[in-house]
Amino acid sequence: MSSTSYAAVPVPQLKPSAESPTVPVRVPGARYFARSVPFPVLKPKVSVKTRRKPVIVIDPGHGGRDPGAVGAKGTHEKIITTTAAKELAAILRKSGRYTVIMTRTDDSYVDHDDRLRIARSGQADLFISIHADSTGSKSTRGASVYTLADRAKGRSKRIVNNQNWILDVDLTEQTDPVGDILVDLAQRKTESQSDAFAEILLDELEGKTKLVGNSHRRAGYYVLLAPDVPAVLLELGFLSNAQDEKLLKTKRHRNKLTSSVERAIDRYMDTP
Ligand SMILES: [Zn+2]
pLDDT in tens, 90-132: 999 999 999 999 999 999 999 999 999 999 999 999 999 999 9
Distance (angstroms) between ligand 1 centre and the Cα of 113 equals 16
- What is the predicted pLDDT for the residue at 261? 98
Distance (angstroms) between ligand 1 centre and the Cα of 61 equals 5
Which architecture does CATH list for 55-270? 3-Layer(aba) Sandwich (3.40)
Distance (angstroms) between ligand 1 centre and the Cα of 116 equals 16
- What is the predicted pLDDT for the residue at 216? 96
Give the confidence band of 206 by pLDDT, cuts at 50, 70, 90: very high
Judged by DSSP in three states, 147 sits in strand
In the predicted structure, residue 75 carries a pLDDT above the cut 70: yes
Report the percentage of the chain scoring pLDDT > 90.
63
- What is the predicted pLDDT for the residue at 139? 96
Distance (angstroms) between ligand 1 centre and the Cα of 42 equals 55
User: Do the Cβ atoms of 95 and 262 come closer than 8 Å?
Assistant: yes
pLDDT tens digit string along 15-71? 444 444 444 444 444 444 444 444 444 444 444 445 799 999 999 999 999 999 999
DSSP structure class, residue 137? -
Distance (angstroms) between ligand 1 centre and the Cα of 196 equals 22
231-238 vs 143-148, strand pairing mode? antiparallel
The single-letter code of the amino acid at 132 is A
Give the confidence band of 166 by pLDDT, cuts at 50, 70, 90: low
- Sorted by where each begins, the domain ranges of the chain are 1-47, 55-270
Ramachandran category for residue 173: left, alpha or beta (phi over 0 → left; psi -120 to 50 → alpha): left
Average pLDDT, the chain: 83
Q: Which of 250, 220, 244, 249 is nearest to 233 (CA)?
A: 220
User: Do the Cβ atoms of 88 and 127 come closer than 8 Å?
Assistant: no
Bigger pLDDT: 262 or 171? 262
DSSP 5-61: -EE---S--SS--SS-TTS-B--TTS-EE-TTSPPP-PPP---S-PPPPPEEEEEE-
In 10 A of CB 213, how many CB atoms? 7
Distance (angstroms) between ligand 1 centre and the Cα of 234 equals 9
Distance (angstroms) between ligand 1 centre and the Cα of 67 equals 9
Distance (angstroms) between ligand 1 centre and the Cα of 192 equals 24
Distance (angstroms) between ligand 1 centre and the Cα of 77 equals 7
- What is the predicted pLDDT for the residue at 18? 44
Distance (angstroms) between ligand 1 centre and the Cα of 69 equals 6
Give the confidence band of 160 by pLDDT, cuts at 50, 70, 90: confident
Those residues whose C-beta lies under 8 Å from the C-beta of residue 131, and which sit 6 or more positions away, are 61, 62, 68, 77, 81, 233, 234, 235, 236
- What is the predicted pLDDT for the residue at 51? 74
What's the pTM?
Answer: 0.77
Lowest mean pLDDT among 111-115, 183-187, 229-233, 254-258: 183-187
Distance (angstroms) between ligand 1 centre and the Cα of 117 equals 19
- What is the predicted pLDDT for the residue at 3? 43
Q: Which of 164, 146, 252, 242 is nearest to 208 (CA)?
A: 252
End-to-end CA distance of the chain: 57
Q: Which of 145, 135, 147 is nearest to 244 (CA)?
A: 135
Residue 34: alpha-carbon gap to chain centroid: 52
If you average pLDDT over residues 122-145, what whole number do you get? 97
Distance (angstroms) between ligand 1 centre and the Cα of 167 equals 28
Distance (angstroms) between ligand 1 centre and the Cα of 129 equals 9
- What is the predicted pLDDT for the residue at 163? 75
> Of all residues in the chain, what percent are helix, strand and coil, respectively (each to 5)?
40, 20, 45
Distance (angstroms) between ligand 1 centre and the Cα of 133 equals 6
Distance (angstroms) between ligand 1 centre and the Cα of 193 equals 23
Distance (angstroms) between ligand 1 centre and the Cα of 62 equals 6
How far apart CA 243 and CA 138 sit, in angstroms, is 10
Judged by DSSP in three states, 262 sits in helix
Distance (angstroms) between ligand 1 centre and the Cα of 48 equals 43
- What is the predicted pLDDT for the residue at 239? 98
